[in-house]
């Protein structure tokens, strides 16, 4: 069984809104074992919607449309679906009654425009909407079952659960498709791919692929088999092999972040952390405290953006800054060591660097960052030279993630 998704809406075509419904539906279908082969987005154009429905129905067994079911003249899913089915629109009395009831429950008069929401292609099945006014529509065209849902995410999600999930349980083969995602940090995509090249061969099952996003390289495993259990076993085997080859480059899976993994390691070991940030300006602390419950292990942080504050808040000797510059290994080390003492914590992370776009010199270019980690037994300083293709946001992002990754490696080596 193959699925396609069609999203409708002028705001998507002008870039005023991002299509999150297609991603949500793709994830929900993948969890039901149904692969999605195409997303199509078109605007409020009756012929374009009709064409998209006809094309998708010729390729897929399941077509889900979102949007275009509202009460205004630019809501064209109903007439476009009728055109694709080559049937007229007729008023569905039961749907009209439900829309009237919806407004009665709100004690508001029903605007005349809402009547068109009860117009459905002849012989299609209305899907009552308990979360809004627009009924959904189910129809069949060629090989495809078509479901039209509202574009409002909350209503769309509720109606997916009420109508499409039961349909899939009845009609789809048991889900022999399992997807896993492993998250890595610290090596480039091509370096990583070299170590699992054989697993990434085309037409292999499971299919293994990599994706890079903001310094995190994800490895995706998509296993297909006759049953869910058989697919899960295939995925398990690949996951074990990939973890073995990549070792501690893999920091987690699915929705793990470096900060959530560091948080779990700190929690397990009953350790605490604080931060001393210059160029990252609070970003490391922000990432650490993104995690619910981080108050158990984050004591606090110092954003020491000016040289004066490095001295005032964290006792970095002014002479040290004068001798080496604020962006230097000794200053990073001093920031981390003094931060650890000031906060009386187990670990302290420090960052000082040149995030740009200004402030670089030939000797200390934009992208030069010193990161330091003070731990109970030692202090480690790392010099990073981020590519001049990185902008300010990317330099700060990678510096903060590299700092968290230093702490992750330190914690992995520390006894529980």
Of 107-115, 235-243, 245-253, 327-335, the segment contacting a copy of itself by CB under 8 A is 107-115
Cα–Cα distance measured from residue 141 to residue 38, given in angstroms and rounded to the nearest whole number: 18
Residues numbered 181-200 forming contacts with a copy of itself, rule: CB under 8 A:
181, 188-191, 193-194, 197, 200
Q: Shortest CA distance to 395 belongs to which of 407, 385, 408, 405?
A: 385
**Nearer to a copy of itself among residue 92 and residue 155 (C-beta):** 155
Closest to a copy of itself by CB, 192 or 372: 192
Q: How far is CA 415 from CA 25, 70, 410, in A?
A: 43, 59, 10
CA max distance for the chain: 84
- In angstroms, what CA-CA distances link 308 with 72, 185, 300, 317, 342? 61, 34, 20, 10, 17
Question: Using the rule CB under 8 A, which residue among 166, 357, 376, 412 binds a copy of itself?
Answer: 357
Nearer to a copy of itself, 282 or 317 (CB): 282
Question: Are 122 and 60 within 8 A, CB to CB?
Answer: no
Q: Site for a copy of itself (CB under 8 A): which residue of 161, 171, 205, 212?
A: 212
Q: Which residues pair with 91 in a beta bridge?
A: 119
Instruction: Label the pairing between strands 62-66 and 3-8.
Output: parallel
Cβ proximity to a copy of itself: between 123 and 290 the closer is 290
The minimum distance between CB 377 and a copy of itself, in angstroms, equals 24
Is the four-CA dihedral 264, 267, 271, 274 of positive or negative sign? positive
Which of 55, 44, 46, 53 minimizes the C-alpha distance to 13? Answer: 44
- Is 56 a residue that touches a copy of itself (CB under 8 A)? no
Smallest distance from a copy of itself to CB 14, Å:
5
For the stretch 216-236, what's the b/e string if a residue is b when 16 or more beta carbons lie within 10 angstroms of its beta carbon?
bbbbebbbbbeeeeebbebbe
User: Least separation, in Å, of the C-beta of 123 and a copy of itself?
Assistant: 26
Min CB(320)–a copy of itself separation in Å: 18
Residue 43 binds a copy of itself (CB under 8 A): yes
Stretch near a copy of itself under the rule CB under 8 A, chosen from 231-239, 309-317, 371-379, 403-411: 309-317
Choices 83-91, 285-293, 330-338, 374-382; region in contact with a copy of itself by CB under 8 A: 285-293
User: Shortest approach of a copy of itself to residue 192 CB, angstroms?
Assistant: 9
Identify which of residues 123 and 205 has a Cβ nearer to a copy of itself in the complex.
205
Residue whose token pair is 């627009």: 134
Structure tokens at 22: 């297609």
> Which CB atom, from 178 or from 411, has the smaller least distance to a copy of itself?
178
Q: Identify the residue among 88, 111, 128, 166 touching a copy of itself (CB under 8 A).
A: 111
Q: Which of residues 236-275 bind a copy of itself (CB under 8 A)?
A: 275
| Closest to 401 in 3D by CA, of 414, 382, 388 | 382
Choice between 45 and 329, CB closer to a copy of itself: 45
Beta carbon of residue 330, minimum distance to a copy of itself (angstroms, whole number): 20
Binding of residue 166 to a copy of itself (CB under 8 A): no
* Closest CB to a copy of itself among residues 13, 379: 13
String marking each residue 325-344 x if it binds a copy of itself according to CB under 8 A: -----------------xx-
How many amino acids of this chain bind a copy of itself (CB under 8 A)?
116
Give the x/- contact pattern for a copy of itself in 125-164, rule: CB under 8 A: -----xxx-------------------x-x----------
Dihedral sign for Cα 125, 129, 135, 136, please: negative
- Length of the chain counted residue by residue: 416
Interface pick for a copy of itself out of 356, 370, 374, 407 (rule CB under 8 A): 356
Token couple for 291: 């995690």
Tokens (6 digits) for 36: 């999605």
Closest contact distance (angstroms) between CB of 212 and a copy of itself is 7
> Which is closer to a copy of itself, CB of 123 or CB of 211?
211
- Catalogue the long-range contacts made by 15-21 (C-beta closer than 8 Å, 24 or more residues apart): 20/153, 21/66, 21/67, 21/151, 21/153, 21/156
Question: Scanning residues 358 to 387, which ones bind a copy of itself (CB under 8 A)?
Answer: 358-359, 387
Phi/psi at 250 (nearest 5 deg)?
Answer: -75, 120
Spatial separation of the C-alpha atoms in residues 66 and 88, rounded to whole Å: 21
């Amino acid at each position: 069984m193959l699925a396609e998704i069609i999203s409708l809406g002028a705001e998507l075509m002008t870039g005023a809104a991002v299509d999150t419904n297609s991603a949500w539906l793709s994830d929900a279908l993948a969890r039901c074992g149904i692969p999605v082969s195409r997303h199509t987005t078109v605007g409020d154009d009756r012929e374009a919607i009709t064409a998209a429905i006809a094309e998708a129905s010729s390729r897929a067994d399941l077509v889900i449309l979102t949007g275009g079911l509202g009460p205004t003249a630019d809501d064209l899913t109903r007439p476009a679906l009728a055109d694709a089915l080559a049937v007229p629109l007729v008023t569905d009395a039961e749907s009209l009654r439900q829309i009237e009831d919806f407004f009665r429950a709100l004690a508001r008069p029903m605007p005349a425009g809402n009547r068109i929401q009860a117009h459905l292609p002849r012989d299609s099945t209305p899907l009552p909407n308990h979360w809004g006014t627009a009924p959904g529509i189910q129809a069949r065209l060629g090989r495809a079952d078509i479901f039209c849902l509202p574009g409002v995410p909350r209503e769309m999600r509720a109606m997916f659960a009420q109508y499409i999930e039961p349909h899939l349980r009845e009609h789809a083969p048991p889900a022999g498709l399992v997807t896993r995602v492993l998250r890595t940090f610290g090596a480039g995509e091509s370096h990583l791919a070299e170590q699992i090249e054989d697993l990434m061969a085309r037409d292999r099952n499971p299919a293994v692929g990599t994706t890079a996003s903001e310094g995190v390289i994800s490895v995706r495993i998509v296993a297909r088999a006759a049953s869910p259990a058989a697919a899960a076993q295939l995925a398990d085997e690949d996951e074990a092999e990939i973890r073995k080859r990549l070792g501690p480059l893999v920091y987690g899976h699915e929705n793990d972040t470096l900060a959530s993994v560091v948080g779990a390691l700190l929690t397990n070991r009953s350790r605490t952390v604080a931060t001393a940030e210059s160029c990252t300006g609070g970003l490391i602390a922000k990432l650490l405290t993104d995690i619910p419950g981080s108050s158990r292990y984050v004591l606090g942080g110092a954003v020491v953006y000016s040289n004066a504050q490095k001295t005032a808040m964290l006792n970095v000797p002014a002479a040290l800054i004068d001798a080496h510059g604020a962006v230097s290994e000794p200053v990073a080390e001093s920031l981390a060591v003094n931060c650890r003492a000031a906060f009386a914590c187990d670990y302290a992370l420090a960052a000082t660097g040149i995030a740009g776009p200004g402030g670089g010199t030939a000797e200390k270019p934009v992208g030069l960052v010193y990161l330091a980690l003070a731990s109970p037994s030692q202090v480690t300083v790392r010099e990073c030279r981020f590519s001049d293709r990185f902008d300010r946001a990317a330099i700060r992002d990678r510096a903060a993630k590299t700092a968290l990754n230093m702490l992750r490696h330190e914690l992995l080596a520390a006894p529980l």
